[in-house]
Structure formats: structure tokens, C-alpha cells
Amino acid sequence: MKDKFPLMQLIDQAGNIVSEEYKSDITEENIKKFYYHMLRLRTYDRRGRALQRQGRIGTYVPFEGQEGAQVGSALALDEKDWMFPTYRDHGAALAFGAELHRLFLYWSGRVEGAVPSLTKRILPASVPIATHLPHATGAAMADMYKGTKNASIAYFGDGATSEGDFHEGINIASVFKAPVVFFNQNNGYAISVPIEKQMNSETIAQKAVSYGIPGVRVDGMDVFAVHLAVKEALDRARRGDGPTLIEAVVIRFGAHTTADDPTKYRDQEKIEQIRDEVDPILRLERVMKNNGMWDGAWINQTRKEIETEVNEAVEQMEDFDKPNPADMFDYVFEKAPWTIQKQKETLLRRSGS
């Protein structure tokens, strides 16, 4: 089936522009825009991992290697579109307009971090796998009935395609022609389970055939290809032609979370060997150098500005009081059942609160 769902690519790993049709879109302005956002995401991501190792935040979910997929997709959205991210898509949320300190607050356990932005339509990160796909369909249908041109994008990994919510969300969207893009980042592993142990399909994109919608397979390390694929899917959605399933093939460079050891289930040395070759940020740097667009002074200045912004966001996060663990028992039920109430009382008693 891979021949029926070829990998869409505009820029190859060597930084060569391989599409004459879209060559005019690969301008210095666009390259610098994408590069800035990907560098910002990587700086934030590495700081998140460092903060976790220092005990300053809780478990953290890294996304290094997937910056091209997240930036390319997020920057294709319109101002009033809806974003439904997973726990690994804080990069996409950041590129779409989430506030840096709020993302750090999320990982530090503050409830304020569950609201990534006060102005953008970004839902809290979905930790349960695939449960947000029907929600994305519902939000898209609501806007469709209101007569707007707003669309939704739902992010999910390859493991989510093994969940019932994946099929239900896409099926409903297909039947009612909901303006939603189902954006899969296929990094080959559902935590430690390789994709070949959870499905016989050669691709995820081909699953679209079952629902009578377009399926697109794209090089997720190519930010321009991702941006184009998502833009075309969103345009289709806004025309009233329904949803699209996009499979962005990516490589997760590191662990599933900071509580994971990827060397237990995959050849991590091989990942490190090919890292520079496939890195989406280095790919853009090669495009710059190949086309006379390299501006070392601009890159250095951009790095400094991003570092300053991230440092300030960390300070903002740490200015907040430590989260109260008892908060986890509130706002789940209108009236907490006795079992929940007893757990809360036990926690308060043991903590001396």
C-alpha cells in the first residue's frame, strides 16, 4: 500500500528542494519563520527535560525530532481554529500561541497549566489515548452548524489508531463532513510497542480508505511538506468537503517520557547515528546554506532571544506557589462520593494540612 500512499516531501535530508511545483513557497522569509519556531520549541523542550532532572517539575514528555511536524501543522491553522493536542504536542500548542510559562506550569502540576492560552482555542493536553478525537469532531461540527469557516486539528500518535475512539471520531467526521484534520505523528512506537506489533497495515494513511476520506502520508521531518499537507487539508475542510487523515512519519529521538528508557526496546545507538542526517532543524540549516540564505548573525541573535524568553518563563513558573495535591480530588464530581472524600482526608492528614 505504500505505493498508493507515497511519502510527500518538498525538501530532502540534504537540504535540496525537490519540488518544482512548490519551490516558490520556500522563501527565505518562510524558512526563517519555520526555523525560529522549531528552535524555540527545541529550546523549550530541552529546558523541560533539564527541569525534570533537577526535580523542579514532574514527569516530562519530550518531543525532540518532531518539531518539523508540530510547527508545520500548527502554523497552517487560522486564528480561530481549534487545536486538540496530546501530552506530546506542547510544541504545536506553543507554535500556535500557547504561553510558555503556562506550559511549564502544566508540567509542574499547577491547574493553570491546563489552560495553555487565554486567547487561542487550545484544549488541555489529552493524556488518555485518542479520547479527544471525537471531541475534535464535535467542535468542528459545532462551528460548521454555526456557519463559520473554522476547523479543528486533532493530534495523536500511532498507538492511538488501536483505540476505538480513533475509529469513532473519524467515522462520525466522515459521515457528517466535519471540518477536522486528523494529524497522526507516526514515530514508530506506542511507548515501547513497535508499530508492527499493533497493526498489519503498511501505513496509517491507508486507514482513511475505510471511511471514504483522503489519506495523506508526509515526511514529518520536512516542515514545508507538513505545512502544505495540513494547509490543503484545512482548505478542503473549510470548503465543506470533510475531514482528512494525515500520517506524518517522524522519529522520536529520545525517550517516550522522562520515566522511560528507550534502550530497553529499540536500538538507541542507531537513532543517534542518523540523528544529524534526519534532524528537521539541521535540514533547514542545510537549505539555507545551499541557497545562499545562511545568516549566522541572525541565528545567534535568535538563539539569545529565545534563551531569554525561556528563562523568563521558568522564573514565572517558579513564582507560583507549589501545587496543592488535594486539588486532584476537586472538580471531578459535583459532589464527591465518600471514597474520594476519604482519600482527600487521608492525604491532608498525612501531609499535616
The residues annotated with a catalytic role in the active site are 252, 256, 265
Let me know if 267 is exposed, middle or buried by CB neighbors in 10 A (0-12, 13-18, 19+). Answer: exposed
DSSP label of 124: P
Question: Torsions phi, psi of 179, nearest 5?
Answer: -80, 75
Q: What is residue 108's three-state secondary structure? A: coil
Per the listing, cell 537540504 goes with 15
- Per-position DSSP letters for 55-80, written without gaps between them: TSSS-----TT-HHHHHHHHTTS-TT
Q: Based on C-alpha coordinates, what's the Rg of the chain?
A: 21
Q: How far is CA 57 from CA 88, 95, 154, 252, in A?
A: 16, 22, 26, 22
If one counts every other C-beta atom within 10 angstroms of the C-beta of residue 11, the result is 26
